[in-house]
Structure formats: structure tokens, C-alpha cells
Structure 1
Amino acid sequence: MKIIISIAALSALTAVILGALAAHGLKGTLSPASLASFKTAVSYQMYHSLALLLVAALPQLKRNLATLAAWSFILGIVLFSGSIYLLTLAQLSWLGPVTPIGGVTLMIGWGLVLTAAVKGDTDG
């Protein structure tokens, strides 16, 4: 889980940096709709970075399922937030279909967290 915690911290750090960029550097550059999309990507990245930390830290979760959930969150962050960043900043419109795949990957991660909780240590 050390690698998951490291990735979570790096992802959260990146989300803060990109959030600052959105707040201070992109207002005059992006359209209001693109800026809103960018901020949504930052929010989802931060939420799921924190979720990664929780998944790594909660000992009552069934470990193999928690690990799958963590990797699902990582993939979801890359696909969902990453595609939105590239769509808004580089206008790579061909990435549009990737965003919902990332969203589904995040949902799968939450389903795995639920399963890891149900199948994990119920004494805690």
C-alpha cells in the first residue's frame, strides 16, 4: 500500500497545483464552460486522491479488493480528469469518449470499496 499512498499524495498535490492554475491562470484563457470542466476534473481528482488514502489506511477492508479499488481509482483519475485536462487545455476532442470510461472506472472503484468493506473484517 506504500505505492498507493505515494500515488495518492502525488495526485492530491497535482490537484492543488491544477486548482491554483484554474483559479489564477486560466480565467482569461479558457471559456467559462471549459474552466468549469477543468474545475470539475480537479475536484474529482482530489476526491479520489483522498479516497485512495482511505482505502490504503482502513485495515478492516479486504486487502485484495481494496487494492483493486485503489488501482481502479488511479485509472479513473487518469482517464476522467486527465482527459478533461487535455480536452480543455489542448482541445484534443478525440479524447471526449475517454471521459465517461474514466467515470465508470471510478464507479467500479467505489463498488470495489463497498465489496471490500462487506467482505472484510466485520469486527472493527
Structure 2
Amino acid sequence: MNKQIVITGALLGMLAVITGAFGAHGLKSLVPPAALQTWHTAVEYQFYHVFALLFLSTFGRFKNNVIFTAYWLFTLGIVLFSGSLYLLSCRTILGWSWLNWLGPVTPVGGLLFIAGWITLVFAAIRNK
């Protein structure tokens, strides 16, 4: 088991629970329903990829660059995909209309997720 991946996954999982609860209880009356749905999507994808990280940790320490690469692709994917959606969801209550430029960042995070899953396949193939 890879301790670094487990710690990262656990911290991002904790953050997903916190942001999910905040979205369900704190944002409900502050943002429009579409923004709340966007927030929910960010939480959902963060959780999916936390589970991917925790599964990746079962491959052991960074035995090869493939595991290391998948770890970073999933982690950066969470930051870019979910992070940009969190900010975009709150731009009206923050008064930061300039956050619209983050829109193109979200698909980059999605591409990192896809690359992470492809890399996970290679990690499984290389695992002995």
C-alpha cells in the first residue's frame, strides 16, 4: 500500500464530504439551482477519483513511473475539474464575474481524469 496515495485520497475524500455537505446545506439558498447542480457534479467526480486513488494505492509504493503518473493525473484532475466547478458555482455569491475564464479549465481536468484511467490500465498490466 502506498502511504502517500492513501493520505492524498483520504484528505481529498474528507474535502469531498465537507464540500458536499456545504453544497447541500450552505449553498442551497445562495445560488441558483443550476449552480447547485454544478457543485454536485464537482463533488461527485471528486469522490469517483478519490476511490480511484485509493484503488491505485493497492499497487504498492511507486514501483514504476506508471503508478506515479496515474497518481498525479487523478490528483491534478480533481484540482482542475472539481476545483474549477466549485469556483464557477460560487462566482455570483463571491462577486467574481471574472471567474468565467475558468470554464475551459474544467475539460482539461476531465482529460486528466481520462488519462489517469488509461494510465491505471497500464499500471494493472505492468503489476506483477
Between the aligned residues of both structures, percent identity stands at 48
- Give the equivalent residue in structure 2 for 1:98: 105
Question: TM-score by structure 1 length?
Answer: 0.90
CA distance in structure 1 between the aligned counterparts of 2:17 and 2:122, rounded to whole angstroms: 30
Structure 1: 5+ residue runs without aligned partners? none
Unpaired runs of at least 5, structure 2? 92-96
Q: Which runs of 4+ in 1 moved over 3 A?
A: none
Compute the RMSD of aligned alpha carbons: 1.5
1:50 Cα deviation after fit: 1.3
> Conserved in 2, the CA contact under 8 Å of 1:62 and 1:119?
no
Match of residue 94 from structure 2: none
- 1:1-124 pair list within 5 angstroms: 1-59=2-60, 63-90=64-91, 91=97, 92-121=99-128
Give the superposition deviation at 1:62: 6.4
The Cα offsets for residues 62-118 of structure 1, whole Å up to 9 and x where unpaired, read as 642122101100000000000001111135111000000000000000000011111
How many pairs does the alignment contain? 120
